[in-house]
Structure 1
Amino acid sequence: MTIGFSSRVAIACSVVCAVGLPALAPGSAAARVGTDPGAARPTASRSPSLHSPGTQVLPRAGAPALPEVSALSWLVADARTGEVLAGHDAHRPLPPASTLKTLFALTVLPVLPGGVQHTVKGADLAGIGDGSSRVGVAEGHTYRVADLWRGVFLNSGNDAVHVLAAMNGGWQSTAVQMQARARALGALDTRVVSPDGYDAPGQVSSAYDLAVFGRAGLRNPDFARYCATVRAKFPAGGWSYDIQNTNRLLTGADGVAPYPGLIGVKNGYTTNAGNTLVAAAHRGGRTLVVTVMNPRAGGPHAVYEEARSLLDWGFAAADRVTPVGTLVPSRATPAASSPPATADASSPAPATAQAGPAAASPASDGSDDGGWWDTVAIVGAAVVGAGAVALALRRRPHAPGR
């Protein structure tokens, strides 16, 4: 016996399958066609309010008032969800100073394992800007990559950045890679000229982009561990010396009270940029990331005090404001782990230590979960289509035998 059915039934089944696929996928099929899987999801960020000048905040009943902040630009966001709680000129392009080292680390950390050793050549240290901060890297000495990263995160050492960039293929190549990494994260305000953050014509970032970098960095266990390290030993041939993190909100140095629950991330200063800071802190199951760029009042420590006041406000207001935007998702899957205690590298943590508010497996750094959704959508469409076929066959009378 042969079972047949009309072309109308076949068309109907095809239509059901076609409808089933976008219905089960997280976004429309049309939105996914021609999309680079490594590119940012444009609809997940760039709230129009964040591009508007001035302060952007949407308080609800009971929300505390924003503190007085003199910085040219600032932003407060939830590190887990990426929701922006408030911001001021968040996309304003400004010199980032050494906070740009967050993007440098995001770019180079994954390709240079901490245990690799390198003997520094004179060419590695060429071109370091006048007045640059240095950790004391010396030509002819051999360093582990992990030592150089501590020099970057703790001492903001431009000499360490130059050596790591040389190991990564060179200064200009690293700048190009950093620019590509910024684009992949959806940080469209950033222009990289000098990977160490040294003042250079045309080099800018924004409070929004730096918050994106800080949030992405905290999902990398190595980044999170380095940026939370308070002090360490730096090798100098046959001996070593102490170095301490220059982030005073972390260390409590120079009369700046340490902030409870602070994780890091990176501070900076240049003549053109003024004082800049990306800071993250954890309290009561919530992690916030704050960016402060170039305070205009309050002296050299104002960047820390203004970050402190914004963190305090953010923890108090998080459930009492409507988000004004969203940081571009890094496509990493956040874990619900707590951040690390502030570290002392005199007793180095193991390479596998979980760190940061969302320490994740290596696969979570920039990986895309789109393939999983595609599989679900295809299977779902097949199930829906098969159901439609079965229904059509049940309703159609059997054809006579031939």
Structure 2
Amino acid sequence: MTTQPENWPNIVSQAAVVMDMNTGTIVYAKNPEAEHYPASITKIMTAMLALEDGKLTDMVPVSKNAADQPPDKLYFVPGESEPLLQMLYGLMLISANDAAVAIAEDYGGSVSGFAKMMNAKAKALGATHTHFDNPNGLPDPNHVSTAYDMALITKAAMQIPEFRKIVSTRTYHWKGEAWQSQLYNINHMLFTYPGSIGVKTGYTSVAHETLVVAATRGNTTFLAVLMDNPTNYSIMQDATQLLNFAFDHYQTDMVVQKGTVVDELRSPNGSMVPLYATENVVATVDKAHPPAIRGTLHLRALPPATLNLGAVTGRATRTPGSTFLQAAASVPVQQNAWLHVGNLTYSLADEPSVTLPLFAQASSFAQIASLRVHSSHPLSVFWLIPGGVGMVLIIVFLLSRRRKSRARICIDAVHGPES
């Protein structure tokens, strides 16, 4: 994790991080793992869980406990029910505490039950210094998080299209049972910072000002989290300076584009089989000092296993120290199928490496496998196809010791890269 460099702006906020939301790379950090009260940026987690567990058309009932929450609120009448979609707009635009509790009680059974869900999700995301006690961020000594943890949580939430839509909305027409009006997003950065796409503000007397804001320029999206700042003006100024510096000095670059040929494998008869990238690989780079990017191809041997190849079951074994298998099974080639043949690992300076699955067309392997071979060759695999989760992919020579025979291919086909 990057520490605070001298040339970054000085800020008032006691803790902050700036993350490239496409890569997860932290380009700036000030006290990133110091625990602070998050206040209403807690509601990012609340909204994410509701979107994952519920449907936008769900009717969310309002209890007396929810209706009695302090402002900011939507002033529900106890017994009222509203669609989850409306609840989420109230939650994220005006930071409605009553909506947060109504959602928690409906999807968690109780506030404490929902808090357990929040903590389990935080742990799953790697937010190890976070503990939630309620869904709205109202003061509680045990309700804490960190700038880094909130960046992880927000990055995950922003992968949900409906969440992104809600937090980037400036106004929303509220049509409740008790009243109707326009809701205006209280995240002023959405109106004042060019390219802002959300996400959430927070304030309590003990947390002071907190803020999570994301902005996009070109292919680059930075996410800034700031905690414990005395004033709204000051925290917005901090966020503006940090985002400006990040965009001026860093950018997200495409290392490999999905669907492109990134390498080739040579077959025993000299044919070259192209390997295709199945997803984009991006990296955060310093504009002034672009780093060298190295790629390493890995073809891994499969351990001894029982193969279940479609309708045919066979036995495969591997000789210790060898990358070849012996097998006795075959299935027809699906000409339009793709095979997971290995992984390409990219390393970039001091950042964590990125592993890219590689696929090749099964038809290419079928052509190679049709090569005639000598009858003296043993029964063996001439090409190893590493298996992904739940799949075993192997190309096999099925040879006769008595006469020449055409090699045949054994595969379980998988879908390849989509355009």
Please give the range of the TM-score, normalised by the shorter of the 2 chains. Answer: 0.5 to 0.7
CA 1:77 to 1:240, structure 2 compared with 1: closer, same or farther past 3 Å?
A: same
Task: Provide the C-alpha distance between the structure 1 equivalents of 2:78 and 2:121, rounded to a whole number of angstroms.
Answer: 30
Task: Provide the C-alpha distance between the structure 1 equivalents of 2:27 and 2:20, rounded to a whole number of angstroms.
Answer: 7
Amino acid at match of 1:271: S
Deviations 1:216-271 (A, max 9, x none): 111011111111111111123275111111101113xxxxxx10110111110011
Q: Give TM-score, length-normalised by structure 1.
A: 0.63
Task: Provide the C-alpha distance between the structure 1 equivalents of 2:327 and 2:86, rounded to a whole number of angstroms.
Answer: 63
Task: Provide the C-alpha distance between the structure 2 equivalents of 1:319 and 1:217, rounded to a whole number of angstroms.
Answer: 22
Equivalent in 274, 280, 288 of residue 208 of structure 2: 274
Structure 1 residue 69 displacement after superposition: 0.6
- Structure 2 match to 1:143: 82
- Structure 1 match to 2:135: 195
Asked if 1:164 corresponds to 2:103, the answer is yes
Amino acid at match of 2:81: T
Contact 2:33-2:148 at 8 Å conserved across structures: yes
Task: Provide the C-alpha distance between the structure 2 equivalents of 1:301 and 1:177, rounded to a whole number of angstroms.
Answer: 34
Equivalent in 4, 14, 29 of residue 87 of structure 1: 29
Deviations 1:260-310 (A, max 9, x none): 1101111100111110011100002100000111225xx431111110110
- Structure 2 match to 1:71: 13
- Structure 2 match to 1:155: 94
Contact 2:317-2:326 at 8 Å conserved across structures: no
Equivalent in 173, 189, 194 of residue 233 of structure 1: 173
Structure 1 residue 381 displacement after superposition: 9.4
Contact 1:135-1:156 at 8 Å conserved across structures: no
Q: Alignment partner of 1:56: what SS? A: coil
Structure 1 residue 214 displacement after superposition: 1.3
- Structure 1 match to 2:347: none
Gaps of 5+ in 1: 1-46, 60-64, 252-257, 321-332, 337-372
- Structure 2 match to 1:242: 182
Asked if 1:302 corresponds to 2:241, the answer is no
CA 1:123 to 1:109, structure 2 compared with 1: closer, same or farther past 3 Å?
A: same
Contact 1:78-1:289 at 8 Å conserved across structures: yes
Contact 2:18-2:225 at 8 Å conserved across structures: yes
How many pairs are equivalent?
A: 282
Asked if 1:265 corresponds to 2:213, the answer is no
- Structure 1 match to 2:250: 318
Amino acid at match of 1:70: V
Structure 1 residue 140 displacement after superposition: 3.2
Structure 1 residue 70 displacement after superposition: 1.1
Task: Provide the C-alpha distance between the structure 1 equivalents of 2:251 and 2:232, rounded to a whole number of angstroms.
Answer: 32
- Structure 1 match to 2:340: none
Contact 1:74-1:89 at 8 Å conserved across structures: yes
Amino acid at match of 1:73: A
Q: Alignment partner of 2:324: what SS? A: helix
- Structure 2 match to 1:323: none
Task: Provide the C-alpha distance between the structure 2 equivalents of 1:226 and 1:334, rounded to a whole number of angstroms.
Answer: 27
Q: Alignment partner of 1:163: what SS? A: helix
Contact 2:19-2:223 at 8 Å conserved across structures: yes
Asked if 1:56 corresponds to 2:4, the answer is yes
- Structure 1 match to 2:73: 134
Deviations 1:75-115 (A, max 9, x none): 11100000000101100000000111111222222112111
Return the structure number with greater relative CO, CA threshold 8 A, min gap 6. Answer: 1
- Structure 2 match to 1:101: 43
| Higher normalized strand content (fraction of residues) | 2
Q: Alignment partner of 2:221: what SS? A: strand
Q: Alignment partner of 1:280: what SS? A: strand
Aligned residue runs from structure 1 range 211-230, under 5 A: 211-230=151-170
Task: Provide the C-alpha distance between the structure 2 equivalents of 1:159 and 1:214, rounded to a whole number of angstroms.
Answer: 22
Deviations 1:33-71 (A, max 9, x none): xxxxxxxxxxxxxx4xx6xxxx534x9xxxxx2112111
Contact 1:80-1:334 at 8 Å conserved across structures: no
Asked if 1:116 corresponds to 2:50, the answer is no
Task: Provide the C-alpha distance between the structure 2 equivalents of 1:394 and 1:141, rounded to a whole number of angstroms.
Answer: 78
- Structure 2 match to 1:289: 223
Asked if 1:386 corresponds to 2:318, the answer is no
Q: Give TM-score, length-normalised by structure 2.
A: 0.60
Task: Provide the C-alpha distance between the structure 2 equivalents of 1:92 and 1:144, rounded to a whole number of angstroms.
Answer: 37
- Structure 1 match to 2:116: 176
Task: Provide the C-alpha distance between the structure 1 equivalents of 2:66 and 2:205, rounded to a whole number of angstroms.
Answer: 25
Based on CA coordinates, which of the two structures has the bigger radius of gyration? 2
Q: Alignment partner of 2:88: what SS? A: helix
Q: Alignment partner of 1:177: what SS? A: helix
Task: Provide the C-alpha distance between the structure 2 equivalents of 1:134 and 1:67, rounded to a whole number of angstroms.
Answer: 36
Task: Provide the C-alpha distance between the structure 1 equivalents of 2:79 and 2:327, rounded to a whole number of angstroms.
Answer: 73
Amino acid at match of 1:94: H
Contact 2:317-2:327 at 8 Å conserved across structures: no
| Higher normalized helix content (fraction of residues) | 1
Task: Provide the C-alpha distance between the structure 2 equivalents of 1:265 and 1:193, rounded to a whole number of angstroms.
Answer: 21
Structure 1 residue 146 displacement after superposition: 0.5
Contact 1:231-1:243 at 8 Å conserved across structures: yes
CA 1:125 to 1:381, structure 2 compared with 1: closer, same or farther past 3 Å?
A: farther
Contact 1:119-1:140 at 8 Å conserved across structures: yes
Amino acid at match of 1:313: F
